[in-house]
Amino acid sequence: MQNDKIVVGLDIGTTKICAIVGTKNEYGKLEVLGMGKAVSDGVIRGIVTNIDKTIMAIEKAIAEASEQSGIEINVVNVGIAGQHIKSSIHHGSITRDRVDDEITVEDINRLSNDIHKIVMPPGCEIIHVMPQDYIVDYEDGIKDPVGMSGVKLEADFHVITAQTNAIRNINKCVKRGGLEIDDLILEPLASSMSVLSDEEKEAGVCLVDIGGGTTDVAIFHDSIIRHTAVIPFGGNIITTDIKEGLKVMQNQAELLKTKFGKAIAEEANPNEIVSIPGLRNRPPKEISIRNLAHIIEARMEEIIELVHAEIITSGYASKLAGGIVITGGGSQLAYIKQLFEYMTGMDARIGYPNEHLGKSKVEAIKSPMYATTVGLVLSGFRAIDERENRYMENQANSNGKRVEKGSKKGSEFFSKLIDRTKGLLMDDFHDKNEY
């Protein structure tokens, strides 16, 4: 059934709106069937500000992905980001009635559902409830309590909330675009599914997704998501700095950043000059690549400082053996890995969304700028928390075993019935012969 399942991820970003259609191949890898993208004019720092423009971009991206994949798209997994995203830790507990029975997945779901009912500040809604470590009868540090015996089950939950209006605006845009939302997922969680390995999540790792409007942070340790944050700066603010600092047009600033930009000014050649066309009847403008790098470095240092502050706030700064994984469009800036390492003192690598990718029709999706969209597709096949995946597998297996056991019992019953019938017929035959 998993092989026939088709999932569509829709990333409503600040610079682009992207849709990817994917399915699992026979090796369990993600195969991308089609991709569509459109320029995003109606989104600022992850928040929808112009509904009509956003709907038009969604329709364009979906039509392109549908045409390329040959599949009619009706249901999508959508990402959410923005400065309004908040995360907090809440404690929950339940007392079980049946002491002799072992703790089941149903008990865990009941505990999780209780957290969903907690009162949030006005205008906020819970989008994710993620269990940390469990406590069974005051015994703490339990990662997975299923199968244990105990009366009191407690846990700390990482609760992620979003602004109700931001969720409503996304829903409105998607519905008016003729689509239905299957799941709303926090974007750094989606990105983590496509670029992080299971070993990194276990060892401890910080994912930094540098998008156009925001920089998203997700921290994992012991394969559990421990901290999330959204920083309201991204690649677009660097472009604005270049535009104002060098007094050029917005599109020229973007081209300068992507073609000649460097995150470390010392790496730029001081003698290298780029000439760009001037405005009407004005001479061309000469731009120093070293000056350009200084502007980029100043803003990138500010973003990295904010990321480092989030790592320290999380309390996991000394436990991240996997270091930092940088992804998103902003990670393609030259020397960004080195600047992260220099400023945080942690190992870093660029995260490409090929962790679970098989062969694909579209080669472009291997770029870090599509990490979120690929992750949104992957979220249709597996949960962010590996414990949840294990529960689902066990449930599927036990259902299969029940069917097998049922059929075996049925066949035993019928074979016994046939044997008895044969016996009665033989007895009847002998009785007749005796007369």
- 399-411 pLDDT per residue, tens: 655 444 344 334 4
pLDDT at 101: 81
Contact call for residues 351 and 196 (beta carbons, < 8 A): yes
User: What does the pLDDT read at residue 375?
Assistant: 94
Q: Tell me how long the chain is.
A: 435
**According to the model, what pLDDT value does residue 354 have?**
86
The dihedrals phi and psi of 206, each to the nearest 5 degrees, come to -115, 120
Residue 154's H or E segment, with its range, is strand 152-163
Can you tell me whether residue 176 is helix, strand or coil?
helix
Q: Can you tell me the distance from the alpha carbon of 233 to that of 22, in angstroms, rounded to the nearest whole number?
A: 30
Average pLDDT, the chain: 87
Are 11 and 377 in contact by the 8 Å Cβ rule? The answer is: no
Sign, Cα dihedral of 191, 193, 194, 200? positive
Q: What is the pLDDT of residue 394?
A: 75
Q: What is the pLDDT of residue 398?
A: 66
Each residue's pLDDT tens digit in the chain (435 positions)? Answer: 344 789 999 999 989 999 999 998 888 889 999 999 999 888 888 889 999 999 999 999 999 999 999 999 999 999 998 888 999 999 999 998 877 788 888 999 999 999 998 888 899 999 999 999 999 998 898 999 988 888 999 999 999 999 999 999 999 999 999 999 999 999 999 999 999 999 999 999 999 999 999 999 999 999 999 999 999 999 999 999 999 999 999 999 999 999 999 999 999 999 999 998 888 888 999 999 999 999 999 999 999 999 999 999 999 999 999 999 999 999 999 999 999 999 999 999 999 998 888 877 778 888 999 999 999 999 999 887 888 878 877 777 766 554 443 443 344 443 444 455 445 444 544 444 444
**Phi-psi group of 141: left, alpha or beta (phi > 0 → left; psi -120 to 50 → alpha; rest → beta):** left
DSSP sequence for 340-405:
HHHHH-S-EEEPPS-SSB---S-GGGGSGGGHHHHHHHHTTTS-SSHHHHHHHHHHHHHHHHHHHH
Instruction: Mention every residue, 6+ apart, whose C-beta is less than 8 A from residue 65.
Output: 8, 19, 20, 21, 34, 35, 36, 73
Q: How far apart are CA 366 and CA 353, in angstroms?
A: 6
Burial 3-34 (b: 16+ CB within 10 A, else e): eeeebbbbbbbbbbbbbbbbbbeeeeebbbbb
pLDDT for the residue 400: 58
Query: Residue 410 has what pLDDT?
Result: 42
**What is the pLDDT at residue 418?**
45
Q: Which amino acid is at 233?
A: F
